[in-house]
Structure 1
Amino acid sequence: MLHFRMDMPPYLMAFYGSMMIVVVWLLRSFLKNHLPKPVFPLLWGLVLIRLLVPFSLSSPISAPVPEWPLQHSSSAAVYISDLAEDAVTPGTGASDAVTYSFAETSDRLTPNWQFAVIILFGLGTAITAGVLFIKKLRYSRKLKNSLLVEHNQGINMILRDMGMGHILVFTNDEIASPLVCGILNPRIYLPLGINFQKTQLLGHILTHEIMRIKRRDNWMKIVMLLALRLDWYNPLVWFMSKCLSSDLEAACDAAVLRRIDDDERKDYAASLLSMAITGNRSTLLYSAFSKTEVERRIKSILNYQKTTAFILALSVVLVMSSTVVFATGGQAPFSAYLSSYCSSTSSRWGVKAGLARDIALGEDAGQRADNAIFDVLDADTTNDPETIADQVKAALAKEFKVEKGAFLLAVDLCLMEEEVLQEYAKQGITKGQDGFYLYKGEAVRTYEDEMLGSVQTRPDGSVDIAVNRDRLGQIISMTVLKQGDEVFERRSKEIERSRRFNTSVSYSFDGTQENAPLVEQDTVVEAGTKFLGKQ
């Protein structure tokens, strides 16, 4: 199932476009001498579409949306008050009272920064457009002094033979090389010093220029200029403009070579050399011979071979496959939310489903997803999270008529409090009246059940414990550190030092120190088990 939208954010257009530039450049580097010359202008055209058109086409091969500071995202720091002040006293029947307060911090740009970015982008766009416009204006002024070539039988015959008799040809004493200028009404301009008596040279020049017109090279360059104006900050786009100009010339040469005899190649190469302009003048504003490309183009002309059926078929496959990958490889930001957190008395596991790509799922998608998940959980007899995940994906794929890979699942151990306490009792873990765990009657300072997502800490205690479970959620062992153990004492010193510096330190149970978020001094944290009131 494909989902088409026209809301791709500009930063993602630039990101995906940049990735495409790199891919096309790699293909160009390895296959340039083996594929027909028009292939790469076509691929650059696909890149320009990605850079300029805000479409998003989601497919099974779409890449995940990258996280960027410009996206609306936030992270929260959790501060928990000291249980010594907030916990309910024993005997009141309201144990486990912990007060939570949330201080949200945001990664998104503040309004001032957003305004500054918009201003900077606008200035860069305006300056780039202004510079390009001034260059174009200056060159247009030079061409205004051109003289129309009339009653030249040689030129008129060449134009008519190529079906372009309506094209006007001018001469100009301020240009050094033939060029084509104009979009809706293209015109050919020849340097005044050209020898019109050399019919072969004149034929090569006009054939080349007419091929530029027929291939709409100037249209492609106008689109490239628009991309440069909008993506002026991106060096890859400027690099692409250079490659595009070179590939357009190579494709034009190949079009000319298909019209002339093999014996005439050397003469065409000589004509190319004689008409090449001096210097490294940009050719994006018009289509002209370029001296910087002459050596490469002459080698290509002399080594030119007609395209075989196999190479032509390979080229078609490359362009078509590139079109599919480029069009559907990226997607715009979307809501990944799909289902509620679903749990059942028939299973030890809870499931929440989300979307891996942008899909139109129809009405009541959330309720339909919940029903599909509950059907799997109620019928499950394995209590195997991997089996449950595969069955849930299959059920969702059947319900929404998409591939299983379109869904992301979180499958977590989900037990009632009574079930947890019964399991813990077999391991010697009980809960005191104050809500803190005891291990064989000793106060637990740090407790962790990673698979259950449960953690409890307090400043004092003589035991640190970690509950270890297998892939099916069954307790298989306990990691116990008691007061007097080397690791326990080292952790105690770190905890004391962290209190003095108003920080928090967490540990894995092999004694390795890890960083943790800043928490208030002498805090008590309990992230309880997932008591969801199973349905």
Structure 2
Amino acid sequence: MNFVYMSISAAFMILAIIGLRKLLINKVPHLVFEFLWILVLVRLYIPYDFATDHNFYNLLYGIRGKLAETDIFNIDFKNYYIDRTFVEFVTMSSFKYLFTLVWIVVGLMVFSYFWHDYISAKKIWKNAVPATATEQVQNLLQKKGLNNKFDVRESKEISMPMAYGVLHPTIILPAGFDTNKTIVFEAVILHEYMHLKYHHPFLQHIIVLILCVNWFNPLIWMIYRYIGRDMEISCDMHVLDQIGSNNRESYALSLLEMASNKGKDMTFYNGFTKHLVRERTVAIMKYKKTSIKAAIFSVLLPVVVFLLFGTSDNYVFGDEIEAGEMEVVIVEAPELPNYREIFVPFSELEPYLVKNDAQTIDELKLNEFKTLIPLEEGLTEELHVNTEVAMYQYSGTLQLVDADLEKENFVSYYSGSLYRK
């Protein structure tokens, strides 16, 4: 499993998840979409090779094969495949060296951008002091039966509450944060708590590292965009689980009030961002307890997505064999005749006639005549064909040029000429 293939597979998964998100948003728990994004990260960085017969990639190869067989787009069935050209290109030494150089240089530039953001975020955390509302926060979490192990600080450098930290998870409140507005206060604290409970800061760090490595894949940047949305909405849904659906309107108003504050969005903080307020408000107002039907569907959806897009195709590239990624085992074939004789009605031969080449009534040229041969009979190099055309008998020997293995037969292709007796 090579790096480029893993990145391409992840790109297809991203497109599929974005499509599902458009169709199913507010119909299934947003936690499902977070889990689907994690599956993309698994596909990106865990080099497993779990091949199946039925997945999206085999479907693409099947369609490609049918197009080549029917020659709709003038693709030669035997010699030319788009994927072969692509593989040969990306395995060229000059391409590898150039790509590696550009990959490292741009990757370091992307990393430096996020590193500056990381240093700024850590500076805010270091300069923050224990919050005066710490006791109120702890009492709220205790009342809701939630773990109150997280630190609570306040800072003059921010205008909105934020969740920060992997090793030292912390809720940071702006200095002078009004705790008298009970509804707003509870909404803010519970929202930031959910970010820490579900390890969103850690996930953000992972995504940033992935962007630094896979910066060349534009669809990887879509993860950065969408996973932030789904983390925020997921936290909103968890808060509503705590305060009840009857408080949807007040929670939505709290969201609007906090989002109206002017503040800089930072990569390594989670908070009440002013962006995506409309999407989050709609999700809040449509909130309802997950039904059994939706719960079952939510479990099955990631499984289906993984089987379709997270598994590998069973198509073997030549370079995989050359690189030693695939083991070739040569098994001695049983003794079989090297020819097979059949009589074929002319109607079955006519689609394979080479009509553009020079030919006389004495000769019929055939190109890649397709026939099925049972597995037990084995492949034959030569096919002796007899047919009848307009009361004349034709016969000749065709040579094997290609073959595909199906469950019970060889799909064999023969080319050659038949001559009138």
Pick the TM interval, shorter chain: 0.7 to 0.9
Aligned position for 1:9:
2
How big is each residue's C-alpha offset from its partner over 1:211-260, in whole Å with a ceiling of 9 and x where there is no partner?
11111212222221121111112221112211110011111111111111
Q: Which has the higher contact order (CA 8 A, sep 6+)?
A: 2
Q: 1:450 & 1:24 partners in 2: Cα distance?
A: 53
Scaled by the length of structure 1, the TM-score of the pair is: 0.58
Aligned position for 1:25:
18
When residues 183 and 280 of structure 1 are mapped into structure 2, their CA distance, relative to the original with a 3 A threshold, is same
Aligned position for 1:141:
123
SS in 2 for 1:452: strand
When residues 108 and 306 of structure 1 are mapped into structure 2, their CA distance, relative to the original with a 3 A threshold, is closer
When residues 227 and 152 of structure 1 are mapped into structure 2, their CA distance, relative to the original with a 3 A threshold, is closer
Q: Is the 8 A contact 1:57 1:331 kept in 2?
A: no
When residues 414 and 478 of structure 1 are mapped into structure 2, their CA distance, relative to the original with a 3 A threshold, is closer
Report the Cα offset of residue 116 of structure 1.
2.0
**Residue identity matched to 1:133:** W
The reply on whether 1:269 has 2:252 as its aligned counterpart is yes
Decide which structure has the larger Cα Rg and report it.
1
When residues 118 and 281 of structure 1 are mapped into structure 2, their CA distance, relative to the original with a 3 A threshold, is same
SS in 1 for 2:158: coil
Equivalent in 107, 116, 121 of residue 103 of structure 2 = 121
Aligned position for 1:189:
172
Q: 1:316 & 1:152 partners in 2: Cα distance?
A: 38
- Equivalenced residue count is 352
Residues 102-181 of structure 1: pairs in structure 2 closer than 5 A: 111-149=93-131, 152-161=134-143, 162-181=145-164
Scaled by the length of structure 2, the TM-score of the pair is: 0.72
SS in 2 for 1:190: strand
Report the Cα offset of residue 35 of structure 1.
1.4
When residues 144 and 475 of structure 1 are mapped into structure 2, their CA distance, relative to the original with a 3 A threshold, is closer
Aligned position for 2:222:
239
Q: 1:147 & 1:202 partners in 2: Cα distance?
A: 19
Q: 1:165 & 1:159 partners in 2: Cα distance?
A: 6
Q: Is the 8 A contact 1:159 1:167 kept in 2?
A: no
Aligned position for 1:388:
373
Equivalent in 311, 315, 318 of residue 294 of structure 2 = 311
- Which structure shows the bigger proportion of residues in helix conformation? 2
Report the Cα offset of residue 131 of structure 1.
0.8
Q: Is the 8 A contact 1:46 1:326 kept in 2?
A: no
Q: Is the 8 A contact 2:194 2:238 kept in 1?
A: yes
When residues 149 and 207 of structure 1 are mapped into structure 2, their CA distance, relative to the original with a 3 A threshold, is same
Report the Cα offset of residue 153 of structure 1.
3.3
Q: Is the 8 A contact 1:180 1:212 kept in 2?
A: yes
Q: Is the 8 A contact 2:169 2:196 kept in 1?
A: yes
Equivalent in 187, 195, 216 of residue 204 of structure 1 = 187
SS in 2 for 1:159: helix
**Residue identity matched to 2:302:** V
Equivalent in 83, 86, 89 of residue 67 of structure 1 = 83
When residues 110 and 35 of structure 1 are mapped into structure 2, their CA distance, relative to the original with a 3 A threshold, is closer
Unaligned runs of 5+ in 1: 1-7, 74-106, 339-357, 394-410, 421-425, 430-448, 455-470, 480-535
Q: Is the 8 A contact 1:180 1:213 kept in 2?
A: yes
Q: 2:40 & 2:266 partners in 1: Cα distance?
A: 19
Q: 1:328 & 1:109 partners in 2: Cα distance?
A: 23
**Residue identity matched to 1:29:** K
Report the Cα offset of residue 271 of structure 1.
1.4
Unaligned runs of 5+ in 2: 62-81, 345-369, 386-391, 402-411
